[in-house]
Amino acid sequence: MWANKPKKLKTKLRYSVRGKRFQFFDAQGVDELVSINMALAQELWVVKERQATMEAVAAAKGIVLPEEIEDHEFSDDQKEALEAERKAFIDRIFFILREEAEALEDDLDAEPAAPEVP
């Protein structure tokens, strides 16, 4: 969960898909906007699922959440963890832009070609 400092990874995997990028809309940037919106919707869903869980857990323990939330202060460690999580969050939502940048390193000629669009 976000409040625990993420462990350092021994092996980093590639998240970007290599090679030619898709573009369906004529106007520049529209495909990216759709990607960004989908990532945004995904993150909102994550929050909704978690909120649903929290409310259920709290209710089971008899805790009244709105008051507790107003009084709450994060510790310095928690603030640091939250900031790291926000950075990762932003990277996820705008991932398409990172993928396009990484694709600049790819050898497009080596990739087998799709059939020509009629």
Partner 1 sequence: MTKYVQHELKVESNKEELARQNFVMGMRSYVLHDMANGMRAAYDAKIEPAFERRQGRKPLDGPEVHKALKNETSFKFYSNMRCNTQEMSFRSVLPAIERNVENLNRKAKTLSQSTEKAAGSVDINSTFEIPKSVANIDVHLMPGSYVTEYAEDDVTQGAVYDNGISVFSMGFFGENLDDIGSTLALYISKKYPDFSPSKILDLGCTIGHNTVPWARTYPEAEVHAIDVAAPALRYGHARAQSQGATVHFHQQSAEATEFEDESFDMIFSSMFLHEVPKDGIHKAFREAHRLLKPGGLMLHMELPPNKMLGAYDAFYMDWDSYYNKEPYYKTFRDMDPVKVCVAAGFKETNFIQYIVPSLGLYGRNAVLDSVKEALTEANENTGRFGDGIMWYSFGAWK
Mark the segment that binds partner 1 (CB under 8 A) among 13-21, 56-64, 67-75, 76-84: 13-21
CB neighbours of residue 104 within 10 Å: 7
Nearest residue (CB) to partner 1, 49 versus 55 = 49
Name which of 68, 70, 50 is nearest 1 in CA terms.
50
Q: Which of 56, 60, 64, 113 binds partner 1 (CB under 8 A)?
A: 113
Q: How many residues does the chain have?
A: 118
Nearest residue (CB) to partner 1, 16 versus 78 = 16
Q: Is 25 helix (H, G, I), strand (E, B) or coil?
A: coil
Q: Which of 3, 5, 40, 50 binds partner 1 (CB under 8 A)?
A: 50
Which residues are CB-contacts of 43 (< 8 A; sequence separation ≥ 6)?
A: 89, 92, 93
Nearest residue (CB) to partner 1, 26 versus 73 = 26
Quick check: 56 binds partner 1 (CB under 8 A)? no
Q: Which of 29, 62, 66, 115 binds partner 1 (CB under 8 A)?
A: 115
Q: Would you state the structure tokens that stand for residue 61, as one six-digit string?
A: 């323990």
Q: How many residues bind partner 1 (CB under 8 A)?
A: 37
Q: Which helix (H) or strand (E) holds 87?
A: helix 76-93
Quick check: 8 binds partner 1 (CB under 8 A)? no
